[in-house]
Amino acid sequence: MRTPLFKFILLFFVALVYLNSCKFSGGNQDLKKTENKWIEEFTITQLQQGYYEGKYTIKDVVSLYIARIAEIDRNGPQLNSIIEINPDAIQIAEQLDYELTAGKIRGHLHGIPVILKDNIDTHDRMPTTAGATALRNSFPPTDSFVARKLREAGAVIIGKANMSEWANFRSSMSSSGWSGIGGQTKNPYVLDRNPCGSSSGSAVAVSANLCMIAIGTETNGSIMCPSNNNGVVGLKPTVGLISRSGIIPISFTQDTPGPMGRTVEDVAITLGALTGIDSTDLKTLNSAGSYLTDYTKFLRKDGANGKRIGLYKKSMGFSHKVDTLMYKAIEDLKANGAEVVEIEFPEGESYGEASLNVLLYEFKDGLNKYLVRLGDNTPVKSLKELIEFNKLDTIELRYFDQEILEMAEKKGGLESSEYKNALAKTLKATRGNGIDRVMDKYQLDAIIAPTGSPAWKTDLLLGDHDSGGSSSLPAKAGYPAITVPMGFINDLPVGITFFGKAWSEPLLFEIAYSYEQGTRHRKKPKYIVSD
């Protein structure tokens, strides 16, 4: 079988041949590799307006993005954010162009180039690997719910993003953004800094303008942290708002896919295309009456006006520079009419061990079911076989061990009283005695906190060196959170998080959009090489 690198090189040359032979319909200029900067920082609305006005075709734009990936991700700065390019991307773009000229618009993402994290199934000529060599040649039998909804909305899935292998649920000493398949992803702002994870490649691809939008997944910080480190907007929806069917699982309780983009508007547009009830994911049944197909109506510049927002002060204090930006953000919110009050969460019973047990039990159960579903597409049919495979592989244990996989394998089934008690304890602490209780007590519309620290230096020997962060509480509760760029510390971006109760995405969009439009901290990366 041809390797992904071979397929990438082949597709790259196909793209170059095309780029050297076609012209803009509007500007009558040759489309060359060095002329792809015009798409930088484009929004979904701007791109589609150009399609409708006939300035360029979907095929033009998809070809440019593919050439840009070759130029920046594989050559140049070598970001290493993309594992696989879709060999059918140009053909898909041509079909969408045909439909556009015929007056058929599939949906809000018609012609929009999208990158998927490589733990999201696509039923095409791209494997779904979770970054693991054991799944190198794993071609799922069906599209994930997310991939299907994207295609129905007219998106062009142009490739798969690198990620922290097994979504960072393998070793406690690992480096975020490293996988056995893709190697180490780099931060586009400062190349020796870490992109965080596990949706590393998704965030980097969006930030470096290698796609218009990307889809990541989160169990605990895997959308929020890489969005913070790479200066983009990331949304972790309420668990159940978007189906997880066809996504390599960690936790039935906490897993969720979510959109990552350069603007709040692009994220809102994408979310509306992904929601809906899915009978194969029971969590989505809870979204009945709460999910929407259009969140753009909540994008108001005065959206923060009159909102009562709680400052999660306990999440601060890990960096005085981050605190300084946070207090400036508070003043910006107040200037837009918001009321910001300091809040305290009750000192309840510790639930860290219980939360980990929930993940260990659910990972074993979910992964075993996923691997069985793949049939003969993979050399491993269970978590136990995966562990043994890794021991014999020349890549997988080169830098990091697999103690988390081994801890999960020792767990029993979901009928275990240890699991049930751990789940009840975690949800009670983070929901009833956590976010719900505090928001009711202080009569809040949302809670704010710094998303995390500036990116640390990548370290393949000792693993991540991150400090601070606020993703765990909403992640463990299964509640929504959105991060927006808040400013820079030296050359590195940091974000502010807005989170709240279940199904409160409309409120969060109102506040986050108002903050973004009033501050506009997003800056494209410069690929700095440290001294």
Provide the annotated active-site residues. Answer: 117, 198, 222
Task: Please say whether the beta carbons of 511 and 498 come within 8 A.
Answer: yes
Q: Residue 197: which of 160, 162, 246, 243 has the closest Cα? A: 162
User: Residue 113 and residue 259: Cα distance in Å, rounded?
Assistant: 13
3-state per-residue secondary structure call for 206-253 = HHCCCCCEEEEEECCCCCHHHHHHCCCEEEECCCCCCCCCCECCCCCC
Both tokens of 270, joined, read 């994408």
Eight-state DSSP code of residue 80: -
The answer for residues whose C-beta is within 8 angstroms of residue 196's C-beta and 6 or more apart is 176, 177, 203, 221, 225, 226, 228, 229, 230, 452, 455, 464, 466
User: Residue 33 and residue 36: Cα distance in Å, rounded?
Assistant: 6
* Pairing verdict, β 233-236 and 481-489: antiparallel
Q: Residue 206: which of 221, 192, 222, 187 has the closest Cα? A: 187
Q: Residue 158: which of 70, 26, 239, 98 has the closest Cα? A: 70
User: Residue 371 and residue 373: Cα distance in Å, rounded?
Assistant: 5
Both tokens of 202, joined, read 């998704």
User: Residue 59 and residue 176: Cα distance in Å, rounded?
Assistant: 34
Both tokens of 462, joined, read 């000792």
DSSP H helical segments within 69-191, as ranges?
89-101, 145-152
Cis peptide bond N-terminal to 171, omega within 30: no
Task: Please say whether the beta carbons of 74 and 34 come within 8 A.
Answer: no
